[in-house]
Amino acid sequence: MHIQTAAVQTLRDFEHGAVVPPVHLASTFELDPATEGGAFAYQRGANPTRGQLETVLAALDGAEHGFAFASGMAATAAALSVLEVGDEVILPASVYGGTYRFVDQVLPARGCTSRFVDDLGALTDADFTPATRVVFVETPANPTLRITDLRRIVELAHRHEALVLVDNTFMTPVLQKPLALGADLVVQSATKYLGGHSDLLAGAVTTNDDALAAALRLAQVAQGGVLAPADSFRLLQGIKTLPLRLERQQHNAIAIVEALRGHEGIAQVWYPGSHSEQEARLHASQAEGTGAVLSFELAPGLDRVAFLEALRYPAFAVSLGGVESLICRPATMTHESMTPQARERAGISDELLRLSVGIEHQEDLLGDLEQALAAAR
């Protein structure tokens, strides 16, 4: 089944012939007094609506197991709960700010250590110690859109009995399926493309490993950061149009890259594969498209604030993946928790802008960027 079909046809045959699943809001379920058993008992452990969403999340990734959480960070925290005292996690320095905060401020108290590296692509056998338990990957990286070779990281990590955890928020299973490339765990902020309408916080984890699935089930019931039934239903509805939305968003993003590249008002444009021929080939070998997030810097002399104020459509806001275009300044908004030196090493200048391209008409977006560039002069 193609993912476009899986997004709408995975769930079928509801009561009364309904073509949309019912929403079960119950926090508790009646049990059989004789056996004290039942299909469901209490919402935190499992409930029919979240269960349906989890079936769809697994289907999209071609995974055995799917888990829904109350946010992307709850999903990441649950996935990282596989770490035990003494374990080490390796992450890219440019990792999502919330993940950085969790690893920096929460993991040490659990007796876990972390190592941030500038370039996961430069990882070698020498970087692994017996304590290395997880390698955390984001490809493309945010907001530089640099590419990491997933197959190589998987091969390296598995040789050292470490797990590979991929944050696939930027690509979604429509464009990239890390589990199929050997990754052990995939997390996503479903707040972004999966939900797609900037009106819902949610997170997803998928895996093919039964032991890891048991750890995630424990995280759901023991830590309780699960997604509520009403939000599970809304996310199910959002997922139905994910492939369609992303197709349009990517189409728009490609047109914007074309227009900005070589534009006299633009100093540089970054998108997956823009950094080198080799990265472009690598990305093409592990993903189906370049997605709909790009970063750029205005040419010297142009006024960034005037540019942002003149923009009519992309709202100046963090987040990404929604139907409406958004623009932000990573150095002060999404990556402000990094030290200036770390930002410089990661290539995140103070002038860099990140654009999440929406589903608006291409001509309106292109015209808007053009007039804002003129206003910035």
Q: Which of 87, 96, 184, 271 is catalytic?
A: 96
Of residues 228 and 310, the one with the C-beta less far from ligand PLP: 228
Per the listing, tokens 């916080």 go with 201
Of 50, 146, 192, 343, which residue is the catalytic one?
192
- 167 binds ligand PLP per the rule CB under 6 A: yes
Interacting residue with ligand PLP among 72, 229, 238, 273 (CB under 6 A): 72
Q: Is 238 in the site for ligand PLP (CB under 6 A)?
A: no
**From 49-57, 84-92, 185-193, 207-215, span contacting ligand PLP (CB under 6 A):** 185-193
- What binding mask, one character per residue, do residues 192-211 give for ligand PLP by CB under 6 A, x or -? x--------x-x--------
Check if 368 is active-site: no
Identified catalytic residue from 44, 115, 304, 345: 44
Q: Which amino acid is at 143?
A: P
Q: Is 192 a catalytic residue?
A: yes
Q: Which of 49, 191, 252, 356 binds ligand PLP (CB under 6 A)?
A: 191
Token pair recorded at residue 42: 């209490």
Who contacts 211 (Cβ-Cβ below 8 Å, separation ≥6)? none
Cα–Cα distance measured from residue 50 to residue 233, given in angstroms and rounded to the nearest whole number: 8
Chain residue at closest Cβ approach to ligand PLP: 72
* Range 282-311, binding ligand PLP (CB under 6 A): none
**Cis bond before residue 243 (omega within 30° of 0):** no
Q: Distance between CA 184 and CA 182 in Å, rounded?
A: 6
How far, rounded to the nearest angstrom, does the alpha carbon of residue 352 sit from its chain's CA centroid?
20
Pairing of strands 132-137, 88-92: parallel
Nearer to ligand PLP (CB atom), residue 75 or residue 302: 75
Sole binder of ligand PLP in the list 43, 94, 144, 169 (CB under 6 A): 169
Shortest approach of ligand PLP to residue 304 CB, angstroms?
A: 22
- Residue 228 as a binder of ligand PLP (CB under 6 A): the answer is no
Per-residue contact string for residues 82-101; x = within reach of ligand PLP by CB under 6 A: --------------x-x---
Say whether 167 is catalytic: yes
Measured CA to CA in angstroms, residue 215 lies from 1, 163, 181, 246, 261 at distances of 29, 14, 22, 32, 46
How many Å from the N-terminal Cα to the C-terminal Cα in the chain?
A: 50
176 binds ligand PLP (CB under 6 A): no
Pairwise CA distance, residues 152 & 65, whole Å = 24
Place of tokens 């972004």: 192
- Residue 318's alpha-carbon distances to 290, 314, 329, 331, 335, in angstroms, are 20, 11, 8, 12, 11
Looking at residues 32 to 71 of the shown chain, list those that interact with ligand PLP (rule: CB under 6 A): 71
Widest pairwise Cα distance in the chain: 78
Least spacing, CB of residue 92 vs ligand PLP, in Å? 11
Q: Is 142 in the site for ligand PLP (CB under 6 A)?
A: yes
How are beta strands 266-270 and 353-356 bridged, if at all? unpaired
Of 68, 73, 164, 194, the one binding ligand PLP (CB under 6 A) is: 73
Residue 245 binds ligand PLP, judged by CB under 6 A: no
182 binds ligand PLP (CB under 6 A): no
Active site residue 304: no
Q: Which stretch in 150-158, 186-194, 211-219, 345-353 sits in contact with ligand PLP by CB under 6 A?
A: 186-194
Helix axes 242-260, 362-375, angle to 10 degrees: 40
Sign of torsion, CA 193 199 201 202?
Answer: negative
Among 194, 214, 126, 128, which Cα is nearest to 164's? 128
**Interface ranges with ligand PLP (CB under 6 A):** 71-73, 96, 98, 138, 142, 167, 169, 189, 191-192, 201, 203
- Residues marked active site are found at 44, 96, 167, 192
